[in-house]
């Protein structure tokens, strides 16, 4: 084994350092495996209960009427998330699109949207109109309020209560920290927040941005009161096999609105050809608990490696996980670049390319991104990105197999050692 790692550019000292840490993680990994097993059985049961059959793998073209694969898959998602209905479509282009559909389908002019958990994910700023944008909710007369979190990342219930008024129609709750360093919320915490909001006004629709959170726990936010959960199929639930898509699962009336918004008033769920993606959607969902567990183990492994070297890691090496993202504060531009080059060099695809920081649209600093993915932009595959600005955080996530996640992290450490930023 050591020799093979050596042939992949890993020195004996880096290998041994990582192996010792890995050996200490057995108990943590066992917990992850228990969640994985539970969720694997949950997915199988949902497929059985809804009588998934070979005919579900046939796609449709054109209008896509009576697509039994699509209709059954939506029932499977509803079973998994314990919701009345679901919309799972290749026509949903990404997570942001799924969130935009859920919001714009269920808000009307004069309504107010509330984020009780501080600033939402970057791309949502333009959806909402926090940053001026064409076709934002703001342009349609939907106002927005935001309650900041407490200093320690907990909910500020006073601020939330103060922000709710007779116009408040929908609360958007982002489960994952995304690319912030606040803590990610557990499903249980989200349940408490929803109870609080519903206690003030039971008619407020509670929507959870579930991106990166699916299958990390044995329950989902829809089991603790969320009226809608929303996510991307090129993250956890696509299992690395879905080549596109998003989902919205929730209350029947809300999902119906989403379908009319996604396709057209009068058409709703009835149209939307699946072409050839049904098999990948099913098989990816089947793989998703295993893939999510691999990504989680990778994140735990990395947190332990980098924390031991003295870097700040969020979540820390011991904390319980609620999403698959790992943040490491690397303190310098050179370290962020070396880390990302290491991740890239471990990829099965495009490993010979060298990522460089550049001024990506929508960001206020240069950003470096590492990804060598089978599905372009997929962040359930091993990937990393770092904005080139203090405190020089790198965020990384994914790994379709633990062996790959492990190799990527070892390679990132090797790159830091080679650049003489870290000495073991
Ligand atoms: C990824 C992500 C999104 C947006 O998803 P895209 O597929 O990139 O559009 C929204 N919210 C959170 C928390 C995410 O992690």
pLDDT tens, position by position, 91-149: 999 999 999 999 999 999 999 999 999 999 989 999 999 999 999 999 999 999 999 99
| Range of lowest pLDDT (52-66, 356-370, 384-398) | 356-370
Q: Is the CB of 126 under 6 A from ligand 1?
A: no
pLDDT band at 362 (very low <50, low <70, confident <90, very high): low
Q: Is the CB of 281 under 6 A from ligand 1?
A: no
Percent share of the chain, pLDDT over 90: 96
CA-closest residue to ligand 1 atom 2: 211
250-260 mean pLDDT: 98
Q: How do residues 165-224 score in pLDDT, each as one tens digit?
A: 999 999 999 999 887 878 999 999 999 999 999 999 999 999 999 999 999 999 999 999
CA distances from 292 to 46, 181, 213, 287, 321 (A): 18, 21, 9, 9, 12
Distance in angstroms (rounded) separating the CA atoms of residues 110 and 168: 9
- Between the CA of 199 and the centroid of ligand 1 the distance, in Å, is 29
Q: Is the CB of 232 under 6 A from ligand 1?
A: yes
Q: What is the mean pLDDT of the chain?
A: 96
Output the pLDDT for position 360. Answer: 80
Angle subtended at Cα 220 by Cα 218 and Cα 222, rounded to the nearest 5 degrees: 145
For residue 86, give every residue at least 6 positions away whose Cβ sits within 8 Å of its Cβ, in sequence order, or none: 74, 75, 77, 78, 247, 248, 249, 250, 255
Helix (H) or strand (E) holding 406: helix 402-418
Nearest atom, ligand 1, residue 325 CA: 15
Distance in angstroms (rounded) separating the CA atoms of residues 133 and 151: 30
Q: Which of 122, 127, 178 to mutate to test the pocket of ligand 1 (most atoms within 8 A of CB)?
A: 178
CA-closest residue to ligand 1 atom 6: 95
CA-closest residue to ligand 1 atom 3: 95
Q: Is the CB of 96 under 6 A from ligand 1?
A: yes
239-243 mean pLDDT: 98
Nearest atom, ligand 1, residue 179 CA: 15
Predicted confidence (pLDDT) at residue 18 exceeds the cutoff of 70:
yes
Please give the model's pTM, rounded to 2 decimal places: 0.97
- Between the CA of 95 and the centroid of ligand 1 the distance, in Å, is 5
Output the pLDDT for position 337. Answer: 97
């Amino acid at each position: 084994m050591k020799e093979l790692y050596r042939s992949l550019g890993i020195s004996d000292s880096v290998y041994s350092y990582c192996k010792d840490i890995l050996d200490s993680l057995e108990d943590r990994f066992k917990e992850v495996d228990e969640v994985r097993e539970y969720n694997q059985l949950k997915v199988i049961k949902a497929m059985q209960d809804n009588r998934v059959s070979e005919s579900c793998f046939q796609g449709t073209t054109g209008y896509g009427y009576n697509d039994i694969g699509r209709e059954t898959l939506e029932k499977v998602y509803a079973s998994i998330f314990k919701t009345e209905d679901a919309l799972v479509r290749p026509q949903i282009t990404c997570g942001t699109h799924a969130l935009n559909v859920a919001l714009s389908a269920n808000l009307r002019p004069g309504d107010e949207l509330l984020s009780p958990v501080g600033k939402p994910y970057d791309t949502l700023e333009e959806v909402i109109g926090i940053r001026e944008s064409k076709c934002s909710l703001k342009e349609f007369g939907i106002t927005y309020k935001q309650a900041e979190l407490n200093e320690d990342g907990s909910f500020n219930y006073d601020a939330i209560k103060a922000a709710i008024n007779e116009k408040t129609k929908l609360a958007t709750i982002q489960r994952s920290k995304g690319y912030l360093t606040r803590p990610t919320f557990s499903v249980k915490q989200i349940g408490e927040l929803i109870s609080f909001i519903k206690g003030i006004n039971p008619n407020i629709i509670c929507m959870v941005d579930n991106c990166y959170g699916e299958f990390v726990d044995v329950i989902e936010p829809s089991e603790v009161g969320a009226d809608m959960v929303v996510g991307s199929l090129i993250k956890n639930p696509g299992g690395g096999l879905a080549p596109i898509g998003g989902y919205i699962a929730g209350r029947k009336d809300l999902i119906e609105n989403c379908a009319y918004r996604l396709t057209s008033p009068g058409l709703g769920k009835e149209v939307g050809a699946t072409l050839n993606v049904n098999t990948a959607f099913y098989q990816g969902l089947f793989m998703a608990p295993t893939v999510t567990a691999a990504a989680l183990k990778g994140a735990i492994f990395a947190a332990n490696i980098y924390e031991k070297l003295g870097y700040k890691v969020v979540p820390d090496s011991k904390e319980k996980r609620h999403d698959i993202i790992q943040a490491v504060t690397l303190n310098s531009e050179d370290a962020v670049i070396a880390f990302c080059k290491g991740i890239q060099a471990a990829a099965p695809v495009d490993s010979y390319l060298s990522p460089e920081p550049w001024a990506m649209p929508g960001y206020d600093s240069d950003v470096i991104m590492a990804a060598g993915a089978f599905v372009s932009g997929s962040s359930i595959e091993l990937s990393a990105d770092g904005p080139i600005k203090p405190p020089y955080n790198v965020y990384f996530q994914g790994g379709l197999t633990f062996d790959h996640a492990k190799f990527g992290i070892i390679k990132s450490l090797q790159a830091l050692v080679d650049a003489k930023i870290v000495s073991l």
